[in-house]
């Protein structure tokens, strides 16, 4: 970049959300626990009888371990100010910002529809499954979702695409972000929207995380010019002003490892002269205020831990675990229980723990930061105890505990993620703001 730019300010009453020391500690510990988890999976697969377990190891490495390690490292060495690049959820640099727009939400949407673009569906289980099947079977899905990228610390507000050859494996696509109030480009130029346009040419594996992803065409300027051509041709009232050498022309890579080549020019498309559609368009909601998938997954995993606790307590309260699945998992630890006859007290404690877990799961879904931190604390203590048992060579050495260990690691990774953290902190900040308003009113 020729100029570094200024840090984007948060909109209006939404204060910036920064990680606390406790958040950072859980985040880093989750990464360490995930690495150890991947090691255990690799150990399981080092035999011909379990060679298929390498698939599980790859999934854990690509979707749990490497993303978390990248996120930890990029928090340290990637500066948190505008650099003309989007970010992946792992903190890696994504596609370049190569277009800017002036105009209201409805004018941008109307211009894209006129130009023959289709708004992409949001990423959810249904749309994710549909794009997988459509890509494999080479079926058309003209509203296929795009993977989320981050700018101003939030996901794109919406995205548009044009399918090529009737398959979502190849497509033109562009993501849009609404600029924060009062934010300007380096040089003091105000715009309403920033956008990143690129062309998906194939499906492959990311060089950095090994995840399945779309590979983009290196010449992002060609895609930028394609967007300009379609919009200006169908909306003659639109005007274009180009900032020359807005960023230094560079040859780099995006978050999937794809090569990027650009001349560094930034066209600003002015849509303010376009007529406003008859039906007003609602401004896009901030993605940070939507219930994020990691929070939902974390809550579901806490419920699963509750179910496991109830199952264990049901066996323990019968007074013996001999010959049961609990006994098989405990191995030599069963002798300790037999000697102390602590079945009923431990079973009762497990019931109480299950009740606490149920409350935590509900509160996490409602955005409670305290419940999120408590659930992660339970997982951390459990992981540490199992790690101590393994290092000391105690009974079981994580053999019977591996399912519980995996569950704790997944809970920690989900709830310590940036999206879960930001959602909980923003909910807490807004509750505090409302409380202050009520106090002033009294």
What's the pLDDT tens digit per position in 375-431? 999 999 999 988 887 777 654 444 446 778 889 999 999 999 988 998 998 887 776
pTM over 0.75: yes
Judged by DSSP in three states, 81 sits in coil
- Mean pLDDT, residues 88-115 taken together: 92
Percent of the chain residues past pLDDT 90, beyond the cut: 36
C-alpha–C-alpha distance, residues 210 and 399, integer Å: 28
Q: What is the pLDDT of residue 228?
A: 95
Per-residue pLDDT at 149: 92
pLDDT at 202: 77
Express as a percent the part of the chain with pLDDT over 70. 80
Contact 324, 315 (CB under 8 A): yes
**Do 286 and 179 meet the contact criterion of CB atoms below 8 Å apart?**
no
State the Cα–Cα distance between residues 183 and 12, nearest whole angstrom. 12
- pLDDT(3) > 50: no
What is the distance between the alpha carbons of residues 26 and 8, in angstroms, rounded to a whole number?
27
Q: Write down the pLDDT at residue 396.
A: 45
The crossing angle, in degrees rounded to 10, of helices 293-316 and 343-365 is 160
Average pLDDT over residues 162-169: 83
Looking at 46-184, list the stretches that DSSP marks H as alpha helix, in order from N- to C-terminal side: 53-60, 66-77, 105-114, 125-137
Provide the pLDDT confidence category of residue 227 given band limits of 50, 70 and 90: very high
Q: What is the mean pLDDT of residues 281-306?
A: 82
Query: Quick check: 196 and 181 in contact, CB under 8 A?
Result: no
Confidence of residue 342 (pLDDT cuts 50, 70, 90): low
Distance CA 418, CA 5 (A): 23
For residue 216, the cross-strand partners are 200
CB 198, CB 83: distance < 8 Å: no
Task: Of 171-180, 225-234, 271-280, give the lowest mean pLDDT range.
Answer: 271-280
What six digits make up the tokens of 248?
């230094």
**pLDDT score at 370:** 93
Asked if 151 contacts 177 with a C-beta cutoff of 8 angstroms, the reply is: yes
If you average pLDDT over each of 113-122, 210-219, 310-319, which comes out highest?
A: 113-122
Residue 13 has pLDDT above 70, yes or no: no
Enter the tokens of residue 29: 């510990």
Lowest pLDDT segment from 23-27, 130-134, 225-229, 418-422 = 130-134
- Provide φ and ψ at 212, rounded to 5°: -70, 130
Mean pLDDT of 215-229: 91
Arithmetic mean of pLDDT, 347-352: 86
- Dihedral sign for Cα atoms in the order 312, 317, 318, 322: positive
Parallel, antiparallel, or unpaired for β 212-216 and 239-243? unpaired
Residue 319 pLDDT grade (very low, low, confident, very high; cuts 50, 70, 90) = low
CB 64 within 8 A of CB 33: no
Enter the DSSP assignment of 368: -
Q: How confident is the model at residue 5 (pLDDT cuts 50, 70, 90)?
A: very low
What pLDDT, on the 0 to 100 scale, is given for residue 335?
A: 52
Number of H helices, E strands in the chain: 13, 14
Q: What is the Cα–Cα distance from 198 to 228, expressed in whole angstroms?
A: 13
Mean of pLDDT over the chain: 81
Give the distance, in angstroms, between the CA of residue 198 and the centroid of all CA atoms in the same chain. Answer: 21
User: What is the predicted pLDDT for the residue at 30?
Assistant: 92
Instruction: List pLDDT tens digits, range 263-293.
Output: 889 999 999 999 876 666 666 666 677 888 8
For residues 104-127, one letter each, b for 16 or more C-beta atoms within 10 angstroms of the residue's C-beta and e for the rest, the string is: bbbbbbbbbeebebbebbbbeeeb
**Which of 3-12, 17-26, 88-97, 326-335 has the largest mean confidence?**
88-97
What is the pLDDT confidence band of residue 198, given thresholds at 50, 70 and 90? very high
């Amino acid at each position: 970049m020729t100029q570094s730019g200024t840090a984007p300010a948060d909109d209006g009453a939404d204060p910036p959300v920064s990680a606390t020391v406790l958040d950072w500690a859980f985040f880093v510990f989750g990464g360490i626990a995930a690495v150890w988890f991947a090691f255990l999976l690799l150990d399981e697969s080092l035999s011909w009888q379990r060679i298929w377990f390498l698939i599980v190891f790859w999934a854990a490495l690509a979707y749990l371990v490497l993303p978390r390690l990248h996120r930890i490292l990029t928090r340290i060495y990637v500066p948190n100010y505008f650099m003309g690049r989007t970010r992946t959820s792992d903190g890696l640099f994504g596609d370049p910002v190569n277009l800017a727009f002036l105009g209201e939400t409805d004018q941008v949407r109307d211009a894209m529809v006129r130009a023959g673009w289709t708004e992409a569906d949001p990423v959810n289980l249904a749309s994710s499954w549909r794009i997988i099947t459509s890509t494999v079977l080479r079926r058309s899905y003209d509203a296929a979702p795009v993977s989320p990228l981050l700018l101003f610390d939030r996901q794109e507000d919406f995205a548009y695409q044009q399918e090529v050859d009737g398959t979502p494996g190849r497509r033109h696509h562009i993501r849009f972000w609404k600029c924060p109030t009062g934010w300007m480009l380096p040089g003091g130029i105000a715009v309403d929207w920033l956008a990143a346009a690129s062309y998906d040419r194939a499906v492959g594996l990311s060089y950095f995380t090994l995840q399945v992803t779309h590979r983009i065409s290196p010449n992002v300027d060609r895609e930028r010019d394609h967007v300009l051509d379609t919009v200006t041709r169908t909306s003659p009232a639109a005007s274009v002003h180009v900032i020359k050498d807005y960023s230094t022309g560079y040859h780099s890579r995006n978050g999937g490892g794809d090569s990027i080549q650009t001349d560094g020019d930034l066209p600003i498309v002015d849509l303010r002269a376009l007529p406003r559609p008859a039906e007003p368009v609602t401004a896009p909601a901030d993605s940070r205020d939507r219930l994020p998938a990691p929070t939902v997954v974390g809550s579901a995993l806490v419920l699963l831990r509750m179910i496991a606790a109830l199952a264990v307590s049901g066996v323990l309260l019968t007074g013996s675990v001999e010959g049961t699945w609990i006994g098989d998992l405990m191995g030599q630890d069963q002798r300790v229980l037999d000697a102390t006859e602590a079945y009923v007290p431990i079973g009762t404690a497990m019931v109480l723990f299950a009740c606490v877990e149920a409350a935590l799961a509900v509160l996490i879904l409602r955005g409670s930061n305290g419940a999120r931190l408590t659930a992660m604390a339970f997982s951390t203590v459990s992981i540490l105890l199992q790690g101590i048992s393994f290092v000391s060579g105690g009974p079981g050495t994580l053999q019977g505990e591996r399912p519980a260990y995996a569950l704790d690691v997944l809970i920690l990774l989900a709830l310590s993620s940036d999206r879960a953290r930001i959602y909980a902190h923003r909910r807490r900040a807004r509750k505090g703001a409302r409380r202050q308003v009520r106090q002033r009113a009294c």
